[in-house]
Amino acid sequence: MRKGALVSIILILSLLAVACGDDGPEGVEVDDILPAAHWEEEYPDQYETYMLNLEMEGTTFGGSEPIDYPEEYPYLQTLYAGNGFANDYIRARGHPYSLEDVIHIDRPKPGASCLSCKTPEYVGLLNEHGSEAATMDFHEAAEIAVSPVSCFDCHGNEPGEILITRTHLEDALENVEEEMAMGNLVCAQCHVEYFLDSDTLEVVLPWENGINAWDIEEATIERGHVDWVHPQTGTELLKVQHPEFETYMGSIHDRVGVTCVDCHLPEMENDEGDIFHSHHVTSPLKYVEASCLGCHQETEEELIARTEAIQEDVYVKKNEIAELLVDLVEEFEEALEADELTDEDIEEARLYHQRAMWRWDFVFVENSTGFHNSEFAHTILDEARDYTEQALEIIRNR
């Protein structure tokens, strides 16, 4: 190697080290990660409100009760048939439960990367083992992990400033030109649609075409990713997971510059009159005054009513389409069993089934029941209905 090249490589490496800073998660090993309890005395307001995340209080459409979804929505057993979510799928509850919930949920766990968004110790594992951490045995890695989602995930070992601790988000952001607010990105580390690469098991946020439901669908298909094959219809399906960030982008509130943090970690005052960010990260409808009334002139009751009316419309529509999707699965299965469809019909009906499920699931698994972006929720649900009807038409006209 020429001397000049070596010098510039050393220069680049040292610049990178400066850019990464000292307080970030780089190089931090599992044992270095400080647990939430470490900060109890230094940051009592943040710590005490963080511990409130253990409460399990519901709201009309959301909240923190661990609702058993397949029991609450029996149609899931048909729509998700062949996928672990058909049997074991519980509503998201507070951050301190993340580790025990992922350990106890009875779904296949191909590798340790299932812990990516459940514990800060996974960041330590990545630093120690590189990308091979992803393929470590899930249960072995879960034994090393001690903390659920906690201070380190948003702050590293120095609470105060927020930072990105997840390399899967940094990698995805390389596809994105526009600046994005940290108040959204800090949550986008986990509250996003992703899949695990089938070879490396690494977490992938497929953002190369853009960050919306259509571009992500396209990128996922281009990468040849399939989540599962529906046992009754033979359709190759894609499973969506909690796309809060992607849904929120472009919404009414995003357009006026509001971030996840403004609503979910609003500023509050302690008994001494000091201002701090509440760390009870739950339904903002439990804290309307702090979260919303700084901007909205309505009373608390009026604003909750307006919010729930928006959620109700989405809730009704998602259930209607789910029933239509059940019809599709059942009639498609019958037609296949009776051998009454041409290869072309089958291919086309499966394509529409896949598209419909992606669109419906994008709203179903998003945790705000449409509130984060009701305009988008209606658009994509209407498309889901269209695709379901087109598939049904092929099957019924056989």
Find the binding residues for ligand HEC in span 114-173 (CB under 6 A).
117-118, 149-151, 153-155, 159-160, 162
User: What is the C-alpha to C-alpha distance for residues 372 and 366, in angstroms, rounded to an integer?
Assistant: 9
Per the structure block, which two tokens stand in for 15?
Answer: 């610049």
- Candidate residues 284, 321, 325, 353; the one interacting with ligand HEC per rule CB under 6 A: 284
The one among 28, 33, 34, 36 contacting ligand HEC by CB under 6 A: 36
Cβ(241)–Cβ(193) below 8 Å: yes
Nearer to ligand HEC, 163 or 356 (CB): 163
The minimum distance between CB 116 and ligand HEC, in angstroms, equals: 8
In the complex, what is the shortest distance from the CB of residue 56 to ligand HEC, in angstroms, rounded to a whole number?
8
| Look-up of token digits 């970030």 | 24
| Residues 289-318 close enough to bind ligand HEC by CB under 6 A | 291-292, 294-296, 303, 306-307, 310
DSSP annotation string for 364-375? HTSTTTTGGGHH
Q: Is-contact 157 28, C-beta < 8 A?
A: yes
- Is there a contact between 102 and 156 (Cβ–Cβ < 8 Å)? no
Nearer to ligand HEC, 223 or 242 (CB): 242
**Could you give the string, one character per residue 37-76, with x where binding to ligand HEC holds by CB under 6 A and - elsewhere?**
--x---x--xx--x--------x-xxxx------------
**Is-contact 115 141, C-beta < 8 A?**
yes
Q: What is the DSSP letter of 187?
A: H
**Contact track, ligand HEC, 374-393, x by CB under 6 A:** x-------------------
Answer yes or no whether residue 35 interacts with ligand HEC by CB under 6 A. Answer: no
State how beta strands 275-277 and 267-269 pair: antiparallel
137 residue type, one letter: D
Q: Looking only at residues 311 through 370 of this chain, which bind ligand HEC when binding is defined by CB under 6 A?
A: 367-369
Number of residues lying near ligand HEC (CB under 6 A): 72
104 binds ligand HEC (CB under 6 A): no
**Closer of 59 and 78 to ligand HEC (Cβ):** 59
Backbone angles phi, psi at 195, to 5 degrees: -140, 165
Shortest reach from residue 45's CB to ligand HEC, in Å: 7
Q: Which is nearer to ligand HEC, 113 or 282 (CB)?
A: 282
Stretch near ligand HEC under the rule CB under 6 A, chosen from 188-196, 198-206, 231-239, 326-334 = 188-196
83, 95, 362, 363: which one contacts ligand HEC (CB under 6 A)? 95
Binding of ligand HEC at residue 94 (CB under 6 A)?
yes
Q: What's the gap between Cα 95 and its chain centre?
A: 13
Count of CB atoms within 10 A of residue 252's CB?
11
107 binds ligand HEC per the rule CB under 6 A = no
Per CB under 6 A, 245 contacts ligand HEC: yes
Nearer to ligand HEC, 194 or 248 (CB): 248
Work out which of 34, 112, 145, 281 binds ligand HEC, going by CB under 6 A. Answer: 281
Cα four-point dihedral sign 204, 205, 209, 214: positive
By CB under 6 A, name the one of 265, 384, 391, 395 that touches ligand HEC. 265
Tell me the residue type at 218: E
Give me the torsion for CA of 139, 194, 370, 320, rounded to 10°.
-80
For β-strands 275-277 and 203-204, DSSP reports them as unpaired
Output the smallest distance, CB 307 to ligand HEC, in A. Answer: 4
Secondary structure (3-state) at 277:
strand
Residue corresponding to tokens 């009807």: 389
Establish how many alpha carbons lie within 13 A of residue 261's alpha carbon, considering only the half-sphere containing its beta carbon. Answer: 15
